[in-house]
Amino acid sequence: MKNPPALLVIILLGILSIATNRLQAESSSAHALSQLRNQLADERGNTIPDFSRAGYRGGGVALPRVLTIGTLSPSDETGDDGARIQKIIDEIATLPANADGHRGALLLKRGVYRVAGSLYVPGGVVLRGEGSGETDATVIIATGTKRRELVILGDVEKRPPVTLVGNTPAPFGSAEIKGTRRRITDTYVPWSTHTLTLEHIDGLSVGDRVVILRPGTTEWIAGLGMDSIQEIDMYSDRKLYQWKPAEYDFPLERFINAIDVETRRVTLDAPLMIALDEQYGGGWLYRAESHRATECGVESLRLVSEYKKGKEKTDTDHATVGVTLRTVENTWIRDVVALHFNIGFVVERTAIFTTIRGSALLDPISPVRGGYRYGFSLRGQYGLVENCRTRNARHAFSTAARARGPNVFLDGVAELSHTDSGPHERFAIGTLYDNIRESKDLVVQNRGNWGTGHGWAGAQQVFWNCTVSGEIVLQRPPTAQNYAIGCIGKLAGGRFPDMPRGLIWSHNQHVQPASLYRAQLEARTLTSTHFTN
């Protein structure tokens, strides 16, 4: 056999060198991240949690390109296009799914479509356009004065209730499998750990979907001071609600990566994001089954909410939400612009493993006050919002009450914001704000009686290498922590400046790794300690 040409040898050596350098860089990044997490750990073992499982199929998995099955062109008529769009979606939904769970996509050709109601995209189906730009796009105009969501992902029909997951009915997420509940026996489980000890491991296997139920208790709420929120300058039309234990159960959906039979310890795919403490009720683990629609998406569309011209800051009688991800798992939104909606994109608390990428809420039409102008609202678990932007929003990147995480906002830009990004109310846990550029403020604090008793807005919130034109407010709740690492912006005290400050590291100087989410994803890939659902 002849020796390979010298040029080929050089090329092969070059490829090998590039691959080696990349592996060394990833290893170095993982090592630096491990060191930082150790430095920031408290006396009980809590530190910055791992967010790498956030996103479609648990992070690090490319969004699919689903085969186009149906095509529709704009009508010459000026009437409602909703029925004919929904008809083809429903026809595709009857087709058998392939091995990946996909049935097919409906392609809306460039042009304008008018929809007076809502469009429902069920499991296995993709609603796709040919662009979201200001020109040469596929435009869906939400017509009329009805307040509604324009596009809803998730099956319309719901199965009958089986049991509850915390306060969430079974048809709206996951249902407990009867007879599988058992106590967690650890005295204390840090929020950043992946492992816990059970009273028994009977019936558990690697890959099982489980729920860790962290109960809300009177003692925990009292420890937070949320049973005695003070009335301060309340709006006359609002009533103050103190927190109630039954409303603060945290059902945390996870997957089992490993089981140690001798010690009865299980390793989970993601940390809990909230500590389990025996003095506050400890916790339980049980197996669960999902009742969600899967593998559906919305792509390359420009959604426009019709409104009364001249009433840009008063009109509320028009389509409210651009896209809602409802009872779904492994779903996505890609390249979608929502124009003039009050809320751009909502991921409901029943959703899991979702990605919103390259999308935007622009120029919402509504009053500039509480309850209006939300850009991207993550309320579920394992949600990723990547490379998205807002313009003229109030809360550009935010979470809602008791959002359970892990959730990630990555490489987001908020232009002309009217107020802050950050957790909005009532103890959202486990959110990463990674390289967010916010034109107003970035805040996690005790909001007290704002709203109807928002109280402590969030815990285990991580601001990483964010750039803030306004103020950064970082307060620490009892039993928890919040972090600002490598963030640029003016530090401020917030509504109650005497509250304890969270952990601030390298203020006004970005740190390495540049992105926490990407570094954690690389570290997980290197160690291969994850289960792909």
**Do 270 and 254 form a contact (C-beta atoms < 8 A)?**
yes
Phi, psi of 423 (to 5 degrees): -65, 135
- pTM for this predicted structure: 0.92
Question: What is residue 159's predicted lDDT score, i.e. its pLDDT?
Answer: 40
pLDDT over 90 (residue 525): no
Question: What is residue 166's predicted lDDT score, i.e. its pLDDT?
Answer: 41
pLDDT in tens, 95-124: 999 999 999 999 999 999 999 999 999 999
Average pLDDT over residues 449-453: 92
pLDDT, greater one: 158 or 75: 75
**Do 271 and 460 form a contact (C-beta atoms < 8 A)?**
no
Contacts of 407 (CB under 8 A, 6+ apart): 51, 54, 378, 380, 381, 382, 383, 384, 399, 430, 431, 432
Question: What is residue 161's predicted lDDT score, i.e. its pLDDT?
Answer: 39
Q: How far apart are CA 531 and CA 336, in angstroms?
A: 30
Q: Which of the residue ranges 206-210, 233-237, 319-323 would you say has the lowest mean pLDDT?
A: 233-237
pLDDT, greater one: 29 or 469: 469
Confidence of residue 477 (pLDDT cuts 50, 70, 90): very high
Q: How far apart are CA 336 and CA 356, in angstroms?
A: 9
Phi, psi of 169 (to 5 degrees): -60, 145
Q: Which of the residue ranges 195-199, 510-514, 527-531 would you say has the lowest mean pLDDT?
A: 527-531
pLDDT over 90 (residue 302): yes
Question: What is residue 38's predicted lDDT score, i.e. its pLDDT?
Answer: 87
**Do 484 and 507 form a contact (C-beta atoms < 8 A)?**
yes
Question: What is residue 224's predicted lDDT score, i.e. its pLDDT?
Answer: 97
pLDDT in tens, 358-390: 999 999 999 999 889 999 999 999 999 999 999
132 to 34, 122, 136, 339, 360: CA distances (angstroms): 40, 22, 8, 10, 10
pLDDT over 60 (residue 169): no
Question: What is residue 530's predicted lDDT score, i.e. its pLDDT?
Answer: 46
Average pLDDT, the chain: 92
Question: What is residue 28's predicted lDDT score, i.e. its pLDDT?
Answer: 64
Q: Which residue has tokens 């050709």?
A: 109
**Do 90 and 82 form a contact (C-beta atoms < 8 A)?**
no
Q: How far apart are CA 378 and CA 362, in angstroms?
A: 18
Question: What is residue 281's predicted lDDT score, i.e. its pLDDT?
Answer: 97
| pLDDT above 90 as % of the chain | 84
Cα 182 to chain centroid distance, Å, stands at: 28
Average pLDDT over residues 444-461: 96
pLDDT over 60 (residue 450): yes
Question: What is residue 505's predicted lDDT score, i.e. its pLDDT?
Answer: 97
Average pLDDT over residues 503-527: 95
pLDDT, greater one: 331 or 169: 331
DSSP 316-337: --S--EEEEE-SEEEEEEEEEE
Confidence of residue 196 (pLDDT cuts 50, 70, 90): very high
Question: What is residue 317's predicted lDDT score, i.e. its pLDDT?
Answer: 97
Strand partners, 285: 182, 212
Secondary structure, 3-state, 17-81: HHHHHHHHHHHHHHHHHHHHHHHHCCCCCCCCCCCCCCCHHHCCCCCCCCCEEEEECCCCCCCCC
Strand partners, 164: 169
321 to 29, 39, 66, 414: CA distances (angstroms): 39, 42, 25, 18
For residue 518, what is the enclosing H or E element? helix 516-527
pLDDT over 90 (residue 34): no
Confidence of residue 15 (pLDDT cuts 50, 70, 90): confident
Average pLDDT over residues 144-156: 92
Phi, psi of 40 (to 5 degrees): -90, 0
Q: Which residue has tokens 């490489």?
A: 411
Question: What is residue 77's predicted lDDT score, i.e. its pLDDT?
Answer: 79
What residue ranges do the domains of the chain occupy? 164-290
492 to 415, 442, 457, 497: CA distances (angstroms): 21, 10, 16, 8
Question: What is residue 148's predicted lDDT score, i.e. its pLDDT?
Answer: 97
Average pLDDT over residues 278-286: 98
**Do 146 and 320 form a contact (C-beta atoms < 8 A)?**
no
Q: How far apart are CA 326 and CA 296, in angstroms?
A: 11
